[in-house]
Amino acid sequence: MSQVLVVRPSSLGDVVWALALVDDLARARPGIAVDWIAEEAFVALPALCAGVRRVIPVALRRWKGSPFAPTSWREAAAFRRTVATERYDAILDLQEQVKGGLMARAARGVRHGFDRASIREPAAAWFDDVHHAVARDLHFCLRCRRLAAAALGIAADGPPRWRWRLPAPASDEPRGPYVVFAHATTRDNKRWPAERWSALADVATRAGLDVVLPSGTPEEAGAARRIAGDRARVLRPPRLSLGALAGWLARAHAVVGVDTGLVHLAAALGTPTLAIFMATDPRLAGVSIAGPHARDLGGRGSVPSFDEVAAALGALLRAGPRC
């Protein structure tokens, strides 16, 4: 049985797109075992993906905050021991950074990565044994699939596919039809104006849908309160685990959001998804690559208007009604 280790610990959207390679490997090599290194905040995501045997957590973000703490040293040593327990036929270093290279070096096996001309941090290429040229002007999903295909000698044809193991509906999920607004982002230039979100909520509720505004930080919760106002059918759930949130996204009638990890996850789950781009290029990170159920709107330096978003959401709902 072949064994493969994937090094792509973060971020959420990038892990979503990279996970498409798991289905490529499973179809080409039935019985292949895929392990995945993931930041502790994102461990639940590859764990939800059928075909991933083991998720190895890493806490590099937390360790960087306290590099001299004894707990950081102990946890880092435990990570190195864990990642070295298997010998892999191929180690796929998809992080494109020195930190990914260091993680890959802790594992045993042949390390494959992007070559110096196509990797984000050229110095990171020094950590890999075999280098593959993959064009940088491709969507990240395609880049990961093509590197995996080159490393394993397989084909990566057709649209991306994912097989998910989702949790059952929780008691606090909406009982009726609902849409999720993924409004939160850490970057100011990715934010769509709050008043437009509020107006879009009015459109959705008039159509008979509840609106869900997830949030993960106090700042995001405050933004959700401002968007919701006193609207009775706009729901602001408490912070959900990533696994639970995936279930909410999968069962929504639609998801609308800015260029953020939850929107990419919704598209990969097969939910009708509308992604609003303002500061990034949808050719490289858009959701439409997931299939006709997903659409990108806007682009770098182009802020979609309320009318454009409302019309696109209506078209998505009409094209893929859920019963």
Give residue-wise pLDDT tens across range 34-62. Answer: 999 999 999 999 999 999 999 999 999 99
Per-residue confidence (pLDDT) for residue 171, from 0 to 100:
82
Q: Are 122 and 213 part of one and the same domain?
A: no
Residue 172 in domain: no
DSSP 167: P
Residue 167 in domain: no
The reported pTM is 0.96
What span, in angstroms and rounded, lies between the C-alpha atoms of 46 and 17? 11
Domains contained in the chain, number: 2
Q: Are 302 and 246 part of one and the same domain?
A: yes
| Per-residue pLDDT reduced to its tens digit, 104-160 | 999 999 999 999 999 999 999 999 999 999 999 999 999 999 999 999 999 999 999
Q: What is the CATH number of the domain that holds 315?
A: 3.40.50.2000
Non-local (6+) Cβ contacts of 97 within 8 A are: 120, 121, 124
Residues spanned by the domain of 112: 3-152
DSSP 11: -
> Helix, strand, coil % (nearest 5) of the chain?
45, 20, 35
DSSP 84: T
Q: Are 213 and 270 part of one and the same domain?
A: yes
Q: Are 232 and 313 part of one and the same domain?
A: yes
Residue 99 in domain: yes
Residue 26 in domain: yes
| Most distant pair of Cα atoms in the chain: their distance | 58
Per-residue confidence (pLDDT) for residue 175, from 0 to 100:
87
- Is 155:236 a contact under the CB 8 Å cutoff? no
Place of tokens 């437009």: 196
What span, in angstroms and rounded, lies between the C-alpha atoms of 135 and 321? 37
Q: Are 17 and 69 part of one and the same domain?
A: yes
Residue 70 in domain: yes
What span, in angstroms and rounded, lies between the C-alpha atoms of 171 and 40? 26
Q: Are 240 and 103 part of one and the same domain?
A: no
Local structure of 261: helix, strand or coil: helix
What span, in angstroms and rounded, lies between the C-alpha atoms of 198 and 82? 47
What span, in angstroms and rounded, lies between the C-alpha atoms of 201 and 320? 19
Q: Are 96 and 209 part of one and the same domain?
A: no
Residue spans of the chain under pLDDT 50 = none
Place of tokens 């075999």: 130
Residue 92's H or E segment, with its range, is strand 87-93
Per-residue confidence (pLDDT) for residue 77, from 0 to 100:
97
What span, in angstroms and rounded, lies between the C-alpha atoms of 231 and 67? 46
What span, in angstroms and rounded, lies between the C-alpha atoms of 220 and 222? 5
What span, in angstroms and rounded, lies between the C-alpha atoms of 153 and 290? 24
Q: Are 8 and 108 part of one and the same domain?
A: yes
Q: Are 268 and 136 part of one and the same domain?
A: no
